[in-house]
Each structure stands twice: as C-alpha cells, then as structure tokens.
Structure 1
Amino acid sequence: MSYSYPHSHGPSSGSYRPARQVDMKPTTISSHVRDYLPSQTQQWALETKEAFRSWSGMLSLLARVARCIFNVTNALVVLWACTLWWGERTVFQDSVKACAWETWEKWPQDASPHHVAFIADPQLVDPHTYPGRPWPLSTLTVKFTDQYMRRSFSSLQKELGPDSVLFLGDLFDGGREWATATSSSPEKRYKKYKDRFWKKEFHRFTKIFTDPWNDGDGHSSEPYGRRMITSLPGNHDLGFGAGVQIPIRERFQSFFGQGNRVDVIGNHTFVSVDTVSLSAMDQPDPETGSSGAGTGEGDLPNQRIWAETEQFLNKMNVHRGRAETESLRLMRNQSEGHLYVHRVVDILEPSFYHRPQPEIVGLPAILLTHVPLYRKPATPCGPHRERYPPSGDNLEEDDRNSIPMGRGYQYQNVLTPAISRDIVSKVGSNLVHVYSGDDHDYCEITHHEFSGSPREITVKSLSWAMGIRRPGFVMTSLWNPIDQTTGQSLQSAGSGRTLQNHLCLLPDQLSIFIYYGLVFGFTLVVLLLRAVVVVKRPAQASAPEPILPLSESHSHPPQRPARYKSPSSSTSSSTLPSPRGLASRATNNPPLYATSASADKEELGSAKWKPTRDGSGRRADRKATAAGTIRGEFVASVKQVAGIVFAWYFFLIWRW
C-alpha cells in the first residue's frame, strides 16, 4: 500500500504554510516599550488605551482613577500631611506673627522706635540636664529641644526682625561642669567631659541662634546695623557665687565677650552686670569659711571672683559717660579725636596729654542681670506667670504667684538685699527698667524700695524643657528722640515714657505631641475599620454557607493512586464514590481518590474539618482565617500610610 503526501511548491502554494510565516501586525515603539513592562502594567496600559476609544470607557477609567485617589488611606495621608505642616511650621509662624510690633506698640505716627528682643535661659540640654534618662530618649530630647528653639528663633527673625537681640544668661545647662585645662567639675560623674565637649556645645549654640540671624535683616531700618549680645553669664554657664571657677569664666568670656559692659541701644544705656560672680561677695569662702560681706578692701574672701565686677560698678560713671559720649559722636558722624592745648612750655617741663573724663549724658538706664533683684517675700509676679497664676486680684502678697526665696547648689533665686542695693545705687539715678532671667517663668514687679521705682521683668525661658508649657520672649520697643549735641530728650513735657514691653508666647510643644498622638490613634481605628470592611464585604455579598459541608472540593484534578486499577467500561457503578457525599464518609473504606494516608488524615480526619453537633469547628476555622486576613490588611495599610507620613515628617525636620 502506498501513501501520497501533498508537497508545497513554493510560497504561493496554499496547501501548507510554515508556522514562522504567520501573518503579524507591524510593531511600533509603544508596543516594544509595553512588552518590557510588568504584566499588570501592560494590562493597565491596554485597558487605558481601549478606554479612551469611547465615552463610556473614559468615564469608567476616570471612575477607577478616582477610586484609586479618593480612598481611606490617601485621606489619612493628607490628614497627616496637614497635621505635620501645622505642628512643624504653621503654629510657630502664627505664634510669632501674632506679636507683630504694630499690633501692640503705641508711639506717635512719625516715631521710628528701636526694637529689642530679650531671650532668657535657652539652657541647651546636655548630659547634665537629665543624667538618668536612657538612650535613645536622651538623644531625642536634645534633638527636639534644639529644633524647637531653632524654629522659634528663626520665626522671630523672619517675621519680626528685631534691631537688637539680648540674651540674659544660662546659654548652656552644664557649661559650668565641663572641664578646662586647669579646672574640672566638682562632681565626679562630669569629670570625663573635657574642654572639647564645651566647644561642641558652643557650636550647637551658634547653629541655633547665629545661623538664622541674617533672616531678619529685611525688617530692620537701624542705620548703625543690628546687634546680638550674648555675653551676660548665668549660673549654669559659670556657677554661682563662691562656686564660680575663674578658668571657666575666662573661657566663657573669650567666646562671648565681657559679662560686665555698657551699650547704648535705641538712645538708652544698657548696663550688663555679672551678678553670679558678684554674689560671691556675701558668701562664705569655701577655703576659709568666712564671709566677705561688709568687709573693706584688702585680702577678702572670694575676692578673685567678685573683684572684677565690683571694680566695674565702682567706675560706672566712666563707663556710662564714655559709651553715651561715643554714641552722640556716632550720631553726629564725628570721630573721637584729641584736643591738645597750644601753649609755650619750658623745655624741662614734662609734656603729657590729659584726657578729660567723659560725663554722663543722662540717657535712660536699663539694668541687665541674670539673677533677679531682691524683693520682699511673697511679692506677686502678676497675671502672666504660668505655673502659679494669681490667687486673687490686687493682692499685696501672694506666695504661690511670687518667686520663692531659696538657694541651693550653684543657684540662688534672687540676689541678696545688700548686693541689690549696691548695684542699683552705682548704676545711676536714671534707672528706668530691669530685665532678668533665671526663674524660667514670667514675673513683673515694681521696686518701690529703689529711687525712681524701676520695673523689673523676669523673662520666660525660650526652651520647652525648663518646666513651662508655653515658652516665650519679651519684646521691647524703645523710642527716645534726643538732641545730638546735648543728649537731652526731645519728647514733649510729661510724656517721659521711652519704652514699651510685650510678652510673646511660643507654641506648647507638649500639646503638639499630644495632638499627634490623638491623630495617630484615630488613624489606627480608621485603618482597622477599613480592614474589617474590606474583608467582610465579599462574604456579606455572597450567599450564606451551610453549617455542614455537602460535598468535597478539590483545588486540582484528583490523581488516582497506582494501587487502584482504572475502571473499565464494564465496571459496576457501585465501585464509584457515592454521589450522596455524606453517606460515603460514614464508611470505613478510604476515598477512591485519596493520594496517601496523610492526605486521608488531613482531608477527612482533621478536627477542624470533621463536623460537630453545633458546627463550632468550622466556624472557628472561618473566624481564624478572617482574623488573619483582617490583620494582614490592617498591617499593610498601616505600612502604606506610615511610609509616606514618616518621609514627609523627616523632610520637615531636615529642612528646618
């Protein structure tokens, strides 16, 4: 028998065509690009292409995009983005904007006041602040306190731009503890911190307060330039009284300047006095145990500590006269110059130049001291004191509202009466105001015991780690037009007021963190409810399942074991599994399609599969499966939201 096969006679033959010559549509660049995309992306691209071919398809595509964008997780991301922007940016800017100069200062329309901001007790957090706080809580405390002060000071410069910024001491918290080449801390646990550590703290200070300084240049119209004075020391910078170490004070002065100085600012004379060193005058000498109070000149206790400040006060007329005279020359655009007397003298007569002593012009004087002046116990501090508001109205004594009369290791709440009188009497009779720090909270009193009854404001701390919820600073507006020759005031008679003060409060950082916590809790609840709805919605839409199983289900076609022969066409129907399902399970014979004994045990003998009288096993299985699915959906959504939120938060921290 022979067979014949058709043969192809070339490409024109229609009886046979090789597979490689199948008709193909011409390829395009977009199709090549699409082939390299993931399968899901390819499917989405094809659906998008088809959708744009009809209005219904476009509407369907837009609906899908809307569902992808407007969902619960994206809404929570937007909520967190707005919350973090408010807590890390808006709240600081709004707090400072509310203190704008024009909203509270009241001068004549043609006045050009000089604006001053007083900053007290930044006290950079260091190992001395919370010695028992473990890592990483200690590191986070340093990070967040520095960030708070940097944002506050930067907002102060950008929104207000004061002409002068004056610090009132306690720039560091443990500055007195960090060793120099010739001194160390009296406490053993701090002896390991050397001079290098103090210099690192100095760089922290400059990064927080010096770097944003130029942001305020656009607000100032001061013809002689803006200034920032940080030289006034506090007890945390040097120690207090007899505890002051000379090498530590010299280090502080070499970086920040002399603590005792006179500056003319806004036609007012600012006198800065190192009262923490001067307080050693009436404290017992740690070496002899005797006190220097009331003693005369000579070898006095602690003289090496307080002598420099006392000499400065004794020559106050010279310091004030020189500063005020130089200020008038600067206003007239004149140099100091020297006036020589032209006369004929004998050749043997020694020639010398006698420089006349400058006289005090009489500008209003303002005293700057870190430690507040003495006042009677229980003198109320007024309504702006945060920790202890007034107990009543117009009280002459209010112990809770006052600065307590106390002292301890390296601190004293107020100066002694003797030192307070000595300072006020030597500064001059034209003392109109006093600014101090140290207490961390606001206090405003009038010293009726001194001539002129000067007012004293104890400025709030700028740091939120100093025991107060609302840090702040004091803004002072100075306006004192004077004659450039004599220095006499040109204000109309009876209007001798030359300065105005305003307390500017900063955000409550602890409340911001609490608000973050509330939003965090709300986020977890919403995501948990979403996970429950996503998992339960398909089950609710489908028909209810029976309590007991009615048939076996296989995820793959059953494989017949080798020990069973394949049934032939003559096989009785009784050899096949019973179609009644449940009846066949009651027999002792294994199922026909069981693959092994272990499968029999897993499929038929499992306690979870076997029906019980009330069906609790199957319900427990369904509940466990549903709980696991809800948990997975919840964790996945939390990770999705947290990834975006933390990236945004770290960006806000890094940028400012």
Structure 2
Amino acid sequence: MTYLYVAIALRSRLLVNVLRLFWILIALWYELGTFISGSRRCNWPDAVFTVSSNKPHPYHILVAADPQILDHRSYPGRAPFLTYISQLVVDLNLRKNWRAALLKRPDAVVFLGDMMDGGRFSMSDDEYDSYYRRFKSIFRLDSRIPQYFIPGNHDTGLGASGAFSPHARSRYLSHFGELNYDLTVANHSLVFLDAPGFVDEDYQRLAVGKGYNSWDPIPGGPIEYLTSFAEEKTTDPVILFSHIPLYRPDGGPCGPLREKGTIRPGVGIGYQNTLGKEATKRLLETLRPKLILSGDDHDYCEYIHTVPSSHGLPDEAREITVKSLSMAMNVRRPGFQLLSLAPDALRGDNPGNPTSADMACLLPDQLAIYLNVYIPFLVLSLLTLFIYHLIRGPFPRARKLLRSEDLGKPDIEDEECKVHPYEHTPRDASYSLPLSISASTNQFHWSWTFVLAGKRGRFAINQQPCIALARSLSCCGRKESHRKRPRRLGWLNGFVRDVRDVAVFPLAIFILITWWLFTW
C-alpha cells in the first residue's frame, strides 16, 4: 500500500510543480515582460530624416500626459480602504508604465499637465509637499535629463470654485516652475502654454466684451506672453505644448488609435474640453505652429488645423492629443508620445523636408491583465486542484478503495499488518539475532525469536508490499512496536496545502517586483 501513497503524493507534487511553474511565468511576463516588450516595439521616428554617422542625431523628447496621481479626494463616494487600494494599484501601474517609457532613453521629457489629480484643492503646505514628493518618487528621472512641465486644470484649477485653493498657482510655480515659457532645441522653438490660465483670462476678456487688440493683458499671463513671443519673429519651426486641445468645430475623426468617441467642445466645473474658437484662432495666427501636442482628453486624437496665410495657400498645423499614462483615466491602453526633432544638418536641402516626427506608443491594458488573465487562470488553477483532491478523496478511503478494487486484497485495517503478540520483556531478558528473512514474489517475512522466563517466543512481521518508504510511513508492526500511523490529510486539507505551495512563488515574485518598482 506504500506504493499507492507514493504514487498519489508524486501525482500531487507533479501537479503542484506544473501549476507553480506556470504561475511564475505568468507573473514575470505580465508584471514586467509585456511592458518591456511593448516599449521595445515602439521606436523613435527617425527614419524620415537623413541620419548618418557623420551627422548629429535627432533630439529625442518623451511626451507624457495626464498621469494625474490619485489622492484621498479622487473617489469621494468610495470607502477609504478601497480608495487606498486603488491608489496603490494605480501607482504601481504608473511605475511600470514609466519604467517602460524610460527604456527609450530620451534626451528630454515633457509633461502635458495634470500631474496630480488633486493639486488644485485646498490643503496644507505639508500635504502638498508630500503629494509632490510622491509624484517625484513615481516619475524618477536621471538628473542629467531635463524635464519640462505645463499646468493642467487639475494642477492650478480652471474657473471659480470654493473647493479650489487660491494658492494653487503659486504652489505650482514653486514646485513645477514657470507657467508660460519657450526654449530653442535642435533648431525648433518649443512653446509651453498655460492653457487653463489662457481660458480664465479669456473669460475675463469676454465678460467685458473686448477683443484681443483692445484687451489689457494680465501681467505675466498667457496673452501677454503670446504677444511678446510674436514680436520676436522666430524663423524656427514652432511646436506648441498645451494641456487643453484646440477648438475643432465638428469634433472630427481622431484616427485609428482612438478608443472611443471624439473631442467636442464642452464646459463644466473645473474643466473645458477645448480652447475657445477665438482663442484657438489667436494661437494659430500668433504662433503659426507646425505641430501641437495637447493632453486633458486622456485618449489619443489626431487633428489637422488650418492656419490662414498671407501668401495665399493656408498652412496646416497638426495636433496630437496624447494618451494618458495612467490606467485610471478611462482608457484601456495608456500611452506616451515620442517626438524626434531634426537639426538643420538632418533636414537636407529641400525646405519641404520634415523637421520633426512623432510616434504614439501604447502600453499594456492593465485592467485586461487583471480581468482576462489573472482571474480566469486563478479560477482554473483552483478548480484543477479542487477536482483533483475531490476525486482522490480522503486518503484512507481512497487507499481502501484502490486496495480492494485494484489490488484484490483485504482491507488494511483488518489484514494488512497481522502480527503475533508478545509479552513485555523484563530487564534480564535475553535476545537472539533474527533467525530468517524470507521473501516471495508477493510478500516478505521478518522474524525474531527471544527467550523470556525460560520460554521461547517469536516476533514476526508479515506484510504485503511495504518496501519503499517503509520506515517513514511505518505501515507495519503497529501493535507490537507501538508506532503510530502518520496522520492522513483529508482532501480539503490537501487542497489548501497545494494552493499554498502553488501561490508562494508567484506571490514572492510579485512582491519583489513591486518592492523594486517602489524603491527604484
């Protein structure tokens, strides 16, 4: 019967090891591999330039939009514990997405606003500092790589609300930097616009019924900045970074990477879907950008704006609304944008050659990993172990059934270990060595004789196949040696034990990856 125990144990261990290996591979792939693979499939769009070893390389900018890290205000109707769990899960996803994005080794990074979900709300300076440190801990970056920010409506607010802090803009200035600014990179003028401030100033202008030419700009505001930039009359191609997308009259198609719907003008408390019609016209005529990169909408959208031209044919300005980097922004596949800028040496002699190129990169669908991979495989693994242990049944019963039906032997409790009784031996008893050890094809026989009080006695063990693991299982000599049979686990206890053995390694991998991401 030992063979039966060994066979059952081996089959159980084999199943556990197969499931364990399967879950180790699943954990490694879906926690790291799929993010790395997705990033490596997306390359810098340098092929449109004349790149060679004796020319400067294109300047690479990684553009990220709306990470919008959560806080306790993000889900007002959700229980505090669930809010905390949501925050941990989303932070972990952001860390994996950011780690995958940095595999592209950019020369610079641009954030298109909404860095923090609750940055505009009233809070103490200490709480805001802690919030900001959390953002920086998620989006760690080599100090040699410059990073640029523009404000979003969740950072500085938009419109009037009693919940918004009057210090939101000053806190943004002290932590993230300027609101409106520009810089020259690879013979391009990069313009960073305070879009929420532009909307707020536009409301004030419209409230008094003034046009842009008669309006006295707010000192340091977006309209004053645009006017001063236009006076510089730069000849470099202009790329505009704006948190809020520009106006489009009919919404229009957004391209194949759009998950659902389109961008349409709309206004609400603390947000505006697009800039106003007049504001968009003012921007296009003043800056005459070749490319516009915007955020706020969370989903990808590609739109072509028409810019009036004094020389006859109108110019075109291509706008890309960049996907959110977060899984919590109602997009199944987050993403980021790669922007390559070509210096003069890479543009060739033809003035019509492209000076910039961009590429959208999609990241894994984290929600689908949880719902379509982890949960189904978890249920399947539990069901497999449950059915296995249910069919095997409690250990003694399965042993009796298999013994009586398969082996044709009597029940172990009645026939398996019959022995001859013997008396307890006093200290002066004498023993002789075993007289014989005989074996047949079906059994073996151990026999010892002893002399007690002048009478000869015999102690014998006559047992069926109790060969392998006889010592550890102690299935023989139960009464005479007073050895206890090891406790047989029931099917439920065995099921729980195997679930534990399967889960321990993938859980350890998950914990180690999480620890690495949070400490990296």
**Contact map agreement 1:154 1:212 (CA 8 A) in 2:** no
In the alignment, residue 126 of structure 2 is paired with which amino acid?
Answer: R
Residue deviations 1:125-153 (CA, integer Å, cap 9, x gap):
11222111214321121111111111221
SS of residue in 2 equivalent to 1:444 = strand
SS of residue in 1 equivalent to 2:344 = coil
CA distance in 2, matches of 1:245, 1:654: 34
Matched, 1:196 2:117: no
1:526 corresponding residue in structure 2: 384
2:119 corresponding residue in structure 1: 175
Of the three residues 246, 250, 271, the one matched with 2:191 is: 271
Of the three residues 75, 84, 89, the one matched with 2:32 is: 89
Of the three residues 538, 543, 560, the one matched with 2:404 is: 543
1:162 corresponding residue in structure 2: 106
Q: TM-score, normalised by structure 2?
A: 0.74
SS of residue in 1 equivalent to 2:221 = helix
Matched, 1:372 2:314: no
Alignment of 1:233-382 (within 5 A): 233-242=151-160, 247-283=167-203, 291-294=207-210, 308-317=221-230, 321=232, 360-382=233-255
**Contact map agreement 2:191 2:241 (CA 8 A) in 1:** yes
Q: Taking every aligned residue pair, what percent have the same amino acid on both sides? A: 30
- Give the CA deviation at 1:282: 3.3
SS of residue in 1 equivalent to 2:207 = coil
SS of residue in 2 equivalent to 1:543 = helix
Question: Structure 1 537/293 Cα, relative in aligned 2: closer, same or farther at 3 Å?
Answer: farther
**Contact map agreement 1:242 1:280 (CA 8 A) in 2:** no
Residue deviations 1:473-523 (CA, integer Å, cap 9, x gap):
1111111316xxxxxx96212433111111100000011112011111111
In the alignment, residue 229 of structure 1 is paired with which amino acid?
Answer: Y
Matched, 1:143 2:88: yes
Question: Structure 1 178/479 Cα, relative in aligned 2: closer, same or farther at 3 Å?
Answer: same
**Contact map agreement 2:44 2:358 (CA 8 A) in 1:** no
Residue deviations 1:563-583 (CA, integer Å, cap 9, x gap):
xxxxxxxxxxxxxxxxxxxxx
Of the three residues 252, 267, 291, the one matched with 1:433 is: 291
**Contact map agreement 2:66 2:295 (CA 8 A) in 1:** yes
- Give the CA deviation at 1:298: 9.5
Q: Give the greater-gyration-radius structure (CA).
A: 1
Alignment length, in residue pairs? Answer: 425
In the alignment, residue 525 of structure 1 is paired with which amino acid?
Answer: L
CA distance in 1, matches of 2:235, 2:369: 48
Question: Structure 1 544/67 Cα, relative in aligned 2: closer, same or farther at 3 Å?
Answer: closer
CA distance in 1, matches of 2:176, 2:209: 30
1:9 corresponding residue in structure 2: none
- Give the CA deviation at 1:525: 1.1
**Contact map agreement 2:338 2:358 (CA 8 A) in 1:** yes
CA distance in 1, matches of 2:138, 2:35: 15
In the alignment, residue 444 of structure 1 is paired with which amino acid?
Answer: E
Residue deviations 1:633-653 (CA, integer Å, cap 9, x gap):
212222232333322321121
**Contact map agreement 2:347 2:353 (CA 8 A) in 1:** no
2:321 corresponding residue in structure 1: 458
- Give the CA deviation at 1:423: 2.1
- Give the CA deviation at 1:439: 0.3
2:486 corresponding residue in structure 1: none
CA distance in 1, matches of 2:332, 2:132: 26
- Give the CA deviation at 1:212: 4.2
- Give the CA deviation at 1:70: 5.8
1:496 corresponding residue in structure 2: 353
Of the three residues 110, 113, 116, the one matched with 2:58 is: 113
CA distance in 1, matches of 2:306, 2:249: 11
**Contact map agreement 1:269 1:365 (CA 8 A) in 2:** yes
1:134 corresponding residue in structure 2: 79
SS of residue in 1 equivalent to 2:42 = coil
Question: Structure 1 426/299 Cα, relative in aligned 2: closer, same or farther at 3 Å?
Answer: closer
SS of residue in 2 equivalent to 1:440 = coil
Structure 1 segments unaligned to the other structure (5+ residues): 1-59, 180-193, 215-224, 322-359, 389-401, 483-488, 556-627
Of the three residues 228, 236, 243, the one matched with 2:147 is: 228
In the alignment, residue 365 of structure 2 is paired with which amino acid?
Answer: D
SS of residue in 1 equivalent to 2:290 = strand
Question: Structure 1 208/414 Cα, relative in aligned 2: closer, same or farther at 3 Å?
Answer: same
**Contact map agreement 1:242 1:284 (CA 8 A) in 2:** no
**Contact map agreement 1:153 1:212 (CA 8 A) in 2:** no
In the alignment, residue 648 of structure 1 is paired with which amino acid?
Answer: I
SS of residue in 1 equivalent to 2:359 = strand
**Contact map agreement 2:248 2:265 (CA 8 A) in 1:** no
Question: Structure 1 629/204 Cα, relative in aligned 2: closer, same or farther at 3 Å?
Answer: same
SS of residue in 2 equivalent to 1:133 = coil
In the alignment, residue 501 of structure 2 is paired with which amino acid?
Answer: Q
Q: Which 4+ stretches in 1 moved above 4 angstroms?
A: 66-70, 242-246, 295-300
CA distance in 2, matches of 1:490, 1:441: 31
CA distance in 2, matches of 1:133, 1:91: 31
2:483 corresponding residue in structure 1: none
2:302 corresponding residue in structure 1: 444
SS of residue in 2 equivalent to 1:132 = coil
1:415 corresponding residue in structure 2: 275
SS of residue in 2 equivalent to 1:634 = helix
CA distance in 2, matches of 1:95, 1:260: 34
Question: Structure 1 635/296 Cα, relative in aligned 2: closer, same or farther at 3 Å?
Answer: closer
In the alignment, residue 181 of structure 2 is paired with which amino acid?
Answer: R
Of the three residues 65, 72, 75, the one matched with 2:18 is: 75
Question: Structure 1 317/415 Cα, relative in aligned 2: closer, same or farther at 3 Å?
Answer: closer
CA distance in 2, matches of 1:645, 1:364: 51
- Give the CA deviation at 1:76: 1.3
- Give the CA deviation at 1:383: 1.6
- Give the CA deviation at 1:172: 0.8
1:470 corresponding residue in structure 2: 333
- Give the CA deviation at 1:292: 3.8
**Contact map agreement 1:119 1:165 (CA 8 A) in 2:** yes
1:208 corresponding residue in structure 2: 138
Question: Structure 1 450/459 Cα, relative in aligned 2: closer, same or farther at 3 Å?
Answer: farther
Question: Which structure shows the bigger proportion of residues in strand conformation?
Answer: 2
In the alignment, residue 245 of structure 2 is paired with which amino acid?
Answer: P
Residue deviations 1:436-485 (CA, integer Å, cap 9, x gap):
10000011111025442111111110001000000001111111316xxx
- Give the CA deviation at 1:416: 0.5
Structure 2 segments unaligned to the other structure (5+ residues): 310-314, 418-488
In the alignment, residue 50 of structure 2 is paired with which amino acid?
Answer: P
CA distance in 2, matches of 1:281, 1:524: 60
Mean CA deviation greater in 237-246 or 473-482: 237-246
- Give the CA deviation at 1:410: 0.6
CA distance in 2, matches of 1:644, 1:365: 53
- Give the CA deviation at 1:361: 4.6
CA distance in 2, matches of 1:543, 1:68: 21
Question: Structure 1 458/292 Cα, relative in aligned 2: closer, same or farther at 3 Å?
Answer: farther
- Give the CA deviation at 1:433: 0.9
- Give the CA deviation at 1:176: 0.6
Residue deviations 1:331-367 (CA, integer Å, cap 9, x gap):
xxxxxxxxxxxxxxxxxxxxxxxxxxxxx45110111
CA distance in 1, matches of 2:351, 2:282: 30
- Give the CA deviation at 1:107: 2.0
**Contact map agreement 1:241 1:277 (CA 8 A) in 2:** no
Which has the higher relative contact order, 1 or 2, with Cα contacts under 8 A spaced 6 or more apart?
2
SS of residue in 1 equivalent to 2:316 = coil
SS of residue in 2 equivalent to 1:310 = helix
